[in-house]
Structure 1
Amino acid sequence: MSTLSWIILASFIGGVLSLMLAAMLALNARISWVSKLVSFAIGALLGAAFLNTLPEAFELSENPTQVTILVLFGILLFFILEKLVLWRHCHLEDCEVHDPTHAITTTAPAYDDHDHGRSGMMIMVGDTFHNFVDGILIAAAFMVDVQLGIITSIAIIAHEIPQEAGDFIILLNSGYTRRMAFLMNLLSSFATLIGGVLAYFMLNALDFLVLPLLSLASASMIYVALSDLIPGLHKRPEIGATVQQVTLIMLGIGLIWSVGFFAHNH
C-alpha cells in the first residue's frame, strides 16, 4: 500500500473512529448528567491545551514568546468572535444583555441554560484547527516510516476520544441537539483527512502553519474553559457541588495526562 493510501486511511479512520467512540460515551449520557459532565469537559480541555498542544507548540518554536503571543492573539480573536455571535443574537430576538430590567426582574439562570451556541461554536473552530494539525502530524509520520505512522495515528485517536467527548458535552450544553452535535463534530473530524492529504503533497509549504494552528487550538480550549464554562460552575457555590466539580475537572485533566503518558511510552 502506498504512503498516500496509508495517510488517507489513517486520517479517515482516526477522525471517524475517535468521533464514534466519543459519541458513544457522550451521547448515551442522561441529560441530567450534562451539567456534571461539563466539569469533566473543562478538565479535558485544559489538559489538552496545557499538556498536549502547548508543549508541542513550544517544541516547534525557537522562541517561546512567539507561542505565547499567538495564544494571546487567539484568546482575543475568540473574544471578538463571541461578541459577534452575541451581536447577531441580540439583533434577531430579545436579548438580556441589552435589557436593563433583566437583572432585576429575573433570577440567575440555571447552569444548564443554553448560551445560544457561543461556547459550542468556539470549541468547533478550535477543534477544527487541532484536527487539521493532527492530519499533518499523521502524514509527516507516515512519510518517515509506516510503523511510526501507525503508532502516531493510534496515539492521536487515543488522545482525541476524551477531547471529542468533551466537545459533545459542550455542544449539548450550548443548546445543540444530539444530531446537530454529531454532525458538527463529524464535519470537524474531516479536517484531519484534509490536513493529511495536503501535507503529503506540500508538507514543506504547510510546515509553517503547524505552530500557529497549535497555538490557536490551545487558545480556543483555554478560552472556552475559562470564559464560557467555568463561570457556570460558580452558580452552584455549595461545598458538595464544588468538591464534585473539582474532582471531575481533575479526572478530565488526569485522563488527558494518562493518554499522553501512555502514547509517549509505547
Structure 2
Amino acid sequence: MSFQATAFAYLFPGNAMVNSLLATAYISIFPNLLLYFVPPDINTSSLNVLVSFAVGGLLGDVFLHLLPHAFLGEHAEGGEAVHVNEQKNVLIGMGIFGGLFFFFVMDKLMRVFNGGGGAHDHGHHHHHDEKKEDESVVIKKDTNNQEGLRQRKKTNDEKNQEQEQDTKKKDNNEIKLSAYLNLFADFTHNMTDGLAMAASFYASPSVGATTAVAVFFHEIPHEVGDYAILIQSGFSKKRAMMAQFTTAVGAFLGTIIGIIIEQVSRADTSEKDTLVVGEDTGILGTGLHPSDLVIPFTAGGFMYIATVGVIPELLQVTGKIQKDRRQALAEFASMLVGLSLMAVIAWNEGAA
C-alpha cells in the first residue's frame, strides 16, 4: 500500500457517512484555527500567492477528479469499455451549469444587496445641497445684521457637523452590512463544500479524500481573506475568528443534506432494482439518479469560485512593472504547484 493510500486510510477510516463528516471537520476547523497565527494586516502579495495555490488545487480537483468521475464513474477493471449515454451526459452537463449558475445568482444577489443604498444616499446628499443653497441666500440678505450672521454661521457649522457624523455612521453601517453579507456568502459557500464532501465520499473513498485535500487547501486562503475583511470592517480579532467558526456550521449542514440525498437516492434505487430487474431506471430513463448530480453541481460551483470569484482578483496589478512581474511569476508557479499536487494524487489513484 502506498504512502498516499495509507494516509487517506488513516484520516478517513469509516464508511462514506463517517468519512464525509470527518472531512468536513478537517476543512472547517483547522483552517480557522490557523487564523490565530495570521496577522490582521497580512500582506496582499503573500495572500495572493496562497490564493493562486488554492486555485490550482481547486481547478485540479475539478478537471482531474470531479468531472472525469461525473462522466465516466470509477475506472473500470481490466480495460472494460465505457458505455456512452448522450442523454446522461446532457443531464450531467446541466448539473455542472446548475452549480455555476447557482453561484452566479448568489454572487449577483450579494452585490445587489450590498450596493442597494447607493441611489438613496445620492438623493439624500442632493437634498442637503439644496438646503445649503437656500441658507446661503438668506445669509447674504442678512449681511447688515452681524449678530444674525454669526448666529446663522454657527447654526450652519452645527448642521455640517451633524451631516458629517451621519455620513460616517452610514459608511460604518455599509461596511458592517458588507461584512455580514460576506459572512452569509461564506456560509453558503461552505454548504457547497459540505455537499462536495458527502457526494465525493459516497462516490468512492479516493474521490472523497482527493476532494477533501483540494477543499482544505482552498479554505486556508479563503478563510484568511474573509478574516481580513472582517478586521477591516471593525471586528476584533476574537470576534472575527468566532464569526468564521460560525460559518463552518454551513459546511456541516451541507454535508448532512448531502448524506440525506445520497441515502434516500440509494434506498430508492435499491427498491426499484428489486421490483423491476433489468429496467433502466433513473431520471428520464438514463440510469442517472439525483445523487449523481451532486458532484457535477459541485464541480460547476468550484469552477465559478475559482474562475469568477478568485482569478479576477489575481489579475489586479499595481502599475510597477518590476514588482508586478515578480508577483505574477510567483502566482503562476504557485498555481502550477497546486495543480501538480492534484495531478500526483490522481495519478497515484489510477495506479493503485
Identify which of 174, 178, 183 aligns with 2:241.
178
- SS of the residue aligned with 1:39? helix
Question: 5 Å matches for 1:29-44?
Answer: 29-30=38-39, 31-32=42-43, 33-44=46-57
Q: Once structures 1 and 2 are overlaid, which stretch shifts more, 28-37 or 211-220?
A: 28-37
Q: How many residues align?
A: 239
Q: Once structures 1 and 2 are overlaid, which stretch shifts more, 116-125 or 238-247?
A: 116-125
Where do 5+ consecutive residues of structure 1 fail to align?
97-113, 142-148
Residues in 1 aligned to 2:103 and 2:212: alpha-carbon distance in whole angstroms = 26
Q: CA deviation at 1:188?
A: 0.8
Partner of 1:89: 114
1:128 and 2:191 matched: yes
Q: Quick one: structure 1 residues 138 and 76, their matched pair in 2 at CA, closer, same or farther if it must change by over 3 Å?
A: closer
Q: Once structures 1 and 2 are overlaid, which stretch shifts more, 67-76 or 118-127?
A: 118-127
Residues in 2 aligned to 1:8 and 1:76: alpha-carbon distance in whole angstroms = 28
Question: 5 Å matches for 1:1-266?
Answer: 6-24=15-33, 28-30=37-39, 31-32=42-43, 33-60=46-73, 62-63=85-86, 64-92=89-117, 116=178, 125=188, 127-139=190-202, 154-155=209-210, 157-172=212-227, 175=230, 177-196=240-259, 199-200=262-263, 202-205=265-268, 208-236=289-317, 238-266=324-352
* Paired-residue identity, %: 15
Q: CA deviation at 1:259?
A: 3.3
Output the aligned Cα RMSD: 3.9
Structure 2 letter corresponding to 1:213:
V
Residues in 2 aligned to 1:251 and 1:119: alpha-carbon distance in whole angstroms = 29
Where do 5+ consecutive residues of structure 2 fail to align?
1-13, 74-83, 122-175, 232-239, 270-287, 319-323
Structure 2 letter corresponding to 1:180:
A
User: Is 2:110–2:185's contact at 8 Å kept on the other side of the alignment?
Assistant: no
Q: CA deviation at 1:246?
A: 0.9
Residues in 2 aligned to 1:52 and 1:95: alpha-carbon distance in whole angstroms = 47
**TM-score, normalised via structure 2 length:** 0.54
- SS of the residue aligned with 2:289? helix
